[in-house]
């Protein structure tokens, strides 16, 4: 089976090997069990794969762990995020929750949460450098609202702006009663960017919820992100 990443980076003239939680562009395995959900590990073989569904329970802590390999060394890793999302294809996805970990060139670490629907609370991200090449990133959170079976999407990039994403279909769901003491992030009733595009609106004319900024990915897909995230994406050349 041809490696999905090989053609993606075939025309690159610099070091385009993006961080990975499984195999490199050439198909070489450099990480075993690169994804773990609540302690159950999964081998990452393909850019898009279907995993057995893991069930979260509202009020209980859930954990997602990524084991990330960066060929230029752990200090070159800049971003690693997970999204719980309704996924049809790359142009049709609606994120329920997005948790992003970022690391600057001088080692400062931070994380950011997008959760307009109020699905989670008590979010934390911990990154640990295991050796010269591998970083373990653990995302912990408590689901407070049930949600249907959803995809989990990971995205990573490095100092050289080389990025890689993986889509795990049917990966997670949450059951249990809604915990009502959580106040969702306030947002106006604005449809998702991809819904607006499917309704005939030009990507550059998409409306974002208050506090978010419109960016256009290099693939032409619009997204609404926090201004801090927009600045970083532009700096890495990942958006127009």
Instruction: State if pTM tops 0.85.
Output: no
Q: Which residue has the tokens 């990154």?
A: 127
Q: In sequence order, what DSSP letters do the residues of 44-107 get, joined into one string? A: --SSEEE-PPEEEETTS-EEEEEEEE-TT-GGGEEEEEEEEEEEEETTEEEEEEEEEEEE-TT-
pLDDT of residue 15: 62
Measure the CA–CA gap between 66 and 85, rounded to whole angstroms.
17
Under 8 Å between Cβ of 52 and 38: no
Q: Is the pLDDT confidence value at 240 over 70?
A: yes
pLDDT of residue 183: 52
Task: Take residue 232 and report the two structure tokens written for it.
Answer: 């970083």
Average pLDDT across the chain, whole number:
86
* 174 Cβ contact list (under 8 Å, min separation 6): 55, 56, 57, 58, 62, 119, 143, 145, 146, 147
Range 12-15 contact pairs with CB under 8 angstroms and sequence separation of 24 or more: 12/162, 14/160, 15/71, 15/72, 15/160, 15/162
Q: What is the mean pLDDT of residues 125-137?
A: 94
Lowest-pLDDT range, 56-70, 149-163, 202-216?
202-216
pLDDT of residue 195: 80
Q: Is the pLDDT confidence value at 8 over 50?
A: no
Q: What is the mean pLDDT of residues 150-168?
A: 93
Counting residues of the chain whose pLDDT is more than 70, the rounded percentage is 90
Q: What is the mean pLDDT of residues 118-145?
A: 95
Q: What is the mean pLDDT of residues 168-184?
A: 85
Between the two ends of the chain, the Cα-to-Cα distance in Å is 33
Q: Is the pLDDT confidence value at 187 over 50?
A: no
Q: Is the pLDDT confidence value at 188 over 60?
A: no
Q: Is the pLDDT confidence value at 12 over 70?
A: no
């Amino acid at each position: 089976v041809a490696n999905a990443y090989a053609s993606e980076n075939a025309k690159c003239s610099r070091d385009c090997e993006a961080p990975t939680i499984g195999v490199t562009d050439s198909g070489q395995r450099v990480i075993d069990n690169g994804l773990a959900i609540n302690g159950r590990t999964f081998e990452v073989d393909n850019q898009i794969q279907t995993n057995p569904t893991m069930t979260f329970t509202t009020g209980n802590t859930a954990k997602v762990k990524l084991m990330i390999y960066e060929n230029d060394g752990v200090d070159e890793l800049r971003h690693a995020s997970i999204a719980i999302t309704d996924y049809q294809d790359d142009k049709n996805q609606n994120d329920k929750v997005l948790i992003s970990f970022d690391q600057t060139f001088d080692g400062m670490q931070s994380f950011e949460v997008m959760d307009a629907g109020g699905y989670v609370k008590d979010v934390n991200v911990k990154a640990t450098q295991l050796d010269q090449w591998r970083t373990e990133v653990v995302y912990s959170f408590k689901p407070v609202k049930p949600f249907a079976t959803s995809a989990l999407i990971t995205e990573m990039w490095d100092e050289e702006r080389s990025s890689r994403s993986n889509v795990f279909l049917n990966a997670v769901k949450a059951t249990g009663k809604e915990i009502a003491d959580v106040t969702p992030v306030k947002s106006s009733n604005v449809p998702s960017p991809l819904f607006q595009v499917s309704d005939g609106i030009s990507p550059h004319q998409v409306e974002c919820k208050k506090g978010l900024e419109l960016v256009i990915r290099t693939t032409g897909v619009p997204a609404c992100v926090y201004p801090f995230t927009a600045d970083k994406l532009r700096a890495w050349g990942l958006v127009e």
